[in-house]
C-alpha cells in the first residue's frame, strides 16, 4: 500500500519517520501545486506514483482537499477541512480530520483545562477549524479568531480580546527557518492561563518561550503531530476510527514515539565557562550519539576567517558578541546535532532564545579552582576580566538557560563520570 503527506512545501517534514513507527506501509512526500492536488483527486494525475491508497494533507490544502473528497466522516463534514484521506473502492477519496484528536491529546499532555475558558485562535486556515471543533468539544466558554484582515486583527486584538485565557497559534509564524517571529505578544493578555502552538519545529518557539517566561501552561505542536499521525495510521490500515482515545496503551505508544522523535530532533548544546571542557565533551557526545559536532569557536573561524580572540583584540568584545549572535542564529535552530558554545554566549540575553529553541542545554559546571588552573593566554576576556569575576557573572546565566547541569570535578577524575553521563543520554529513549 502507498500513502504519503501532501502539501505545498515539505522540506523538513517528519511524517514518514512517524508513520514508520506506527505501521508497515510505504509512505512518501508529495509536494504539489494546487492544480496538481486537484489532479490527484480527480484521477487525472500523470504520475503513476500518485495512484495512492491515501495520504495526509497539510498546509495549505486542508480546506481544498475537503471540497474535493467524494465522502466525508462526520467530524470532517462539520469542520470543513480534512488532514487524512483514503481511496474508495469505487473511486475518489473519503476525508477524515485527525487533527482534532491530536490537538486534544496535546492539551491533555500539558494539563490544559479548556472548560469554561475564553479562547483566542490565531489564524483562520485549515488547522484553525479543527481547533475550533476541538475547543467546542472541550466546552470552551468562547472561541474567537484573529487574522491579519479580520474584524479581530493583530492591531486591535489586545483591546477587544484582553480577557483571552487560552491562546492557540495555528499559523506557521515562528516555524523553522523563520524562528525569530512570534504571532503575538502574550504579555499583553492579563488573564492568560495557557498558550498552545501547533508549530513543532523548533521545539520551543518564541511564542512558547514567552509563555514559559510568563509562568502560564504551554503546549508545543510535536504531541499534536504524532497523535494525529497515529489516528491517521488507524484510518490507513482500515481499522475502526474514533476521535476518542482507546486508553492507556494508545496514550503510552504516542508518548513513546513523541519522546523518541523529540530526542532525534533536539540538539544537545553545551554551555559553560571557558576551559570547562565543552569541546572535548562535545566530541565524546557526538561520537557516542553518531551526530555531527559543531564547535561554535571553530564555526566562527569558518564563517568570518578570523579567530574570536583576534576580533576581540582588534575590534573589541562588543563587536565579537554581535558576530557570535549572528552565527548562533544560523546554527542553533538546526536539528539533531551536538553544539559546543563559547563561554560568553550567555552574556547577550537575545541568545537565550536561540539556545533554547531547538536544544537540550547542558551546563558543564566545574569548580572555580579547576577553572583557575586553565591556560588563558588565548582567551583575552578571561585575561582582562579574570576567571573569578567571570565565574561570578556567568554562573547564574548558565543555570538559568540550561535544562540539565553536569557538576563535574577535576578533569582527570571527571572522565569516568563524563563517560557515564554520555552513556545515560545515549541509552535513554526520549527523556533527557
Which among 102, 97, 50 is positioned nearest to 69, based on CA atoms? 97
Reduced to 3 states (helix: H, G, I; strand: E, B; else coil), residue 28 is: strand
Other beta carbons within 10 angstroms of residue 263's beta carbon come to 18
* Nearby residues of 178 by Cβ (< 8 Å), 6 or more positions away: none
The C-alpha cell at 185 is: 505578544
Yes or no: say if 338 and 289 are a contact pair by the CB < 8 Å rule.
yes
Yes or no: say if 26 and 58 are a contact pair by the CB < 8 Å rule.
no
Q: If you count DSSP H runs as helices and E runs as strands, how many of each does the chain have, helices first? A: 19, 16
Quote the CA–CA distance of 416 and 346 in Å, as a whole number: 28
Yes or no: say if 3 and 27 are a contact pair by the CB < 8 Å rule.
yes
51 is catalytic: no
Catalytic residue (choose from 8, 49, 51, 62): 62
* Nearby residues of 276 by Cβ (< 8 Å), 6 or more positions away: 343, 364, 365, 366, 371, 408
Dihedrals phi, psi of 87, to nearest 5 degrees: -75, 145
Find out whether the peptide bond into 260 is cis, omega within 30 degrees of 0: no
Name the β-bridge partners of 3: 27
Name the β-bridge partners of 173: none
Its sign, for the CA torsion 204, 206, 211, 217, is negative
Yes or no: say if 116 and 141 are a contact pair by the CB < 8 Å rule.
yes
Quote the CA–CA distance of 69 and 410 in Å, as a whole number: 66
Which among 93, 86, 30, 83 is positioned nearest to 57, based on CA atoms? 83
Secondary structure percentages of the chain, helix, strand, coil, to 5: 45, 15, 35
Give catalytic residues, as residue numbers.
Answer: 62
Amino acid at each position: 500500500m502507498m500513502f504519503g503527506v501532501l502539501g505545498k512545501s515539505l522540506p523538513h517534514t517528519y511524517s514518514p519517520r512517524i508513520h514508520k513507527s506506527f505501521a508497515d506501509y510505504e509512505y512518501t512526500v508529495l509536494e504539489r501545486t494546487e492544480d496538481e492536488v486537484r489532479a490527484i483527486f480527480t484521477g487525472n494525475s500523470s504520475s503513476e506514483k500518485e495512484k495512492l491508497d491515501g495520504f495526509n494533507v497539510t498546509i495549505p490544502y486542508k480546506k481544498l482537499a475537503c471540497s474535493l473528497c467524494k465522502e466525508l466522516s462526520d467530524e470532517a463534514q462539520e469542520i470543513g477541512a480534512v488532514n487524512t484521506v483514503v481511496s474508495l473502492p469505487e473511486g475518489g477519496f473519503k476525508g477524515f480530520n485527525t487533527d482534532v484528536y491530536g490537538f486534544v491529546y496535546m492539551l491533555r499532555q500539558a494539563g490544559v483545562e479548556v472548560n469554561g475558558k475564553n479562547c483566542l485562535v490565531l489564524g483562520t486556515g485549515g488547522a484553525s477549524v479543527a481547533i475550533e471543533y476541538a475547543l467546542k468539544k472541550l466546552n470552551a466558554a468562547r472561541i474567537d479568531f484573529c487574522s491579519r484582515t479580520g474584524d479581530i486583527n493583530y492591531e486591535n486584538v489586545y483591546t477587544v480580546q484582553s480577557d483571552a485565557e487560552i491562546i492557540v497559534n495555528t499559523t506557521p509564524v515562528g516555524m523553522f527557518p523563520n524562528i525569530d517571529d512570534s504571532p503575538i505578544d502574550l504579555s499583553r493578555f492579563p488573564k492568560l492561563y495557557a498558550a498552545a502552538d501547533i508549530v513543532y519545529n523548533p521545539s520551543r518557539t518564541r511564542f512558547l518561550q514567552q509563555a514559559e517566561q510568563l509562568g502560564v501552561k504551554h503546549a508545543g505542536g510535536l504531541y499534536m503531530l504524532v497523535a494525529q499521525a497515529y489516528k491517521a495510521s488507524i484510518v490507513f490500515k482500515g481499522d475502526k476510527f474514533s476521535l476518542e482515545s482507546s486508553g492507556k496503551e494508545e496514550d503510552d505508544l504516542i508518548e513513546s514515539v513523541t519522546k523518541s522523535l523529540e530526542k532525534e530532533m533536539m540538539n544537545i548544546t553545551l554551555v559553560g565557562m571557558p576551559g570547562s571542557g565543552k569541546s572535548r565533551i562535545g566530541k565524546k557526545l557526538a561520537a557516542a550519539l553518531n551526530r555531527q559536532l559543531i564547535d561554535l569557536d571553530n564555526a566562527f573561524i569558518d564563517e568570518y576567517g578570523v579567530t574570536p580572540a583576534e576580533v576581540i583584540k582588534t575590534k573589541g568584545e562588543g563587536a565579537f558578541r554581535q558576530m557570535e549572535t549572528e552565527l548562533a542564529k544560523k546554527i542553533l535552530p538546526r536539528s539533531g546535532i551536538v553544539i559546543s558554545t563559547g563561554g560568553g554566549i550567555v552574556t547577550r540575553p537575545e541568545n537565550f532564545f536561540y539556545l533554547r529553541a531547538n536544544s537540550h542545554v547542558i551546563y558543564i559546571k566545574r569548580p572555580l579552582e579547576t577553572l583557575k588552573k586553565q591556560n588563558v593566554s588565548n582567551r583575552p576576556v578571561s585575561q582582562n576580566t579574570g576567571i573569578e569575576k567571570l565565574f561570578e557573572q556567568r554562573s547564574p546565566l548558565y543555570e538559568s538557560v540550561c535544562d540539565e547541569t553536569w557538576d563535574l570535578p577535576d578533569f582527570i577524575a571527571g572522565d569516568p563520570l563524563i563517560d557515564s553521563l554520555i552513556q545515560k543520554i545515549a541509552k535513554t529513549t526520549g527523556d533527557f
